[in-house]
Amino acid sequence: MRFTPRDAINQRFFSSDKNTNDFKVGEKIIFTWSDDWANFISEKINASHHDTTMYNSSYWFKTNIEKNISVVHAPIGSPGTVMFLEDLITCGAKQIIGLGAAGSLKKDFQIGDILIPYFCKIIDEGTSQHYKIKGEIKPDEKLYNRLKNIFINSDINLGVGDWWTTDGFYRESKNDIKEYSNQGILGVDMETSAMYKLGIFRKVSICNLLIVSDELYKEWKYGVSSKRFQTNYLKIISLLSSWILN
């Protein structure tokens, strides 16, 4: 490569005499795309040491230095997500949990339920092609099983299965949704396939945990402000925070 993530970070901060060693990045990461969610999780796990990202001050991470955990507010979409993750991995991140929202393609999984993407069968985003690997695109097996065990024993409906990732947010057509649902695809988001490919390529553990915000299998239903979504979101944050602190 012409330049590496380490080269890029060091160059960005050359004038201020900073480098990768100046960023307090935990080995364990909770990675989310909502500023509010990231702040709430930071409070739950007492992550207070604050750093802006290496490339854009709108995005940031807070670290509980004692527990070696960082909470990250990241940009939506595969390119920005993977760029940020490359920087975090360069600075020491080894285990990454993506906590976000997703659309459900199956009537068994409704707003407020939780989905864990497994095999990425429909890769409809452009970042993945730049990470050449062989084999199936899936999460780190150990981290996947740990997360599944946390939520399979909770009262939140859990789905795991085949996945669709797209970077065409407004191009999820009715025909695509019907076809992919008939193929057994569980849900859709904008980052998972690129994140999982990066994890395999960089040899770090990555698994995503996504709350159903949209029901797509019938007329579109959006439910982030619903009581069920908000109730389950609080339960998920509590369970995830307790687990990662141990």
> pLDDT tens digits, residue range 147-206?
999 999 899 999 999 999 999 989 988 999 999 999 999 999 999 999 999 999 999 999
Convert the pLDDT of each residue in 105-118 to its tens digit.
Answer: 999 999 999 999 99
- Which runs of consecutive H residues, i.e. helices, occur in the chain? 5-12, 35-45, 78-90, 141-152, 174-182, 192-202, 227-245
**Mean pLDDT to the nearest integer, 222-229:** 96
Place of tokens 């945990």: 209
Rg (CA), the chain: 18
pLDDT band at 14 (very low <50, low <70, confident <90, very high): low
* Domain residue extents for the chain: 5-245
**Mean pLDDT to the nearest integer, 78-93:** 95
CA–CA separation, 73 and 165 (whole Å): 20
Looking at the structure, give the CATH architecture of the domain made up of residues 5-245. Answer: 3-Layer(aba) Sandwich (3.40)
pLDDT band at 7 (very low <50, low <70, confident <90, very high): confident
Question: Is a pLDDT exceeding 80 seen at residue 13?
Answer: no
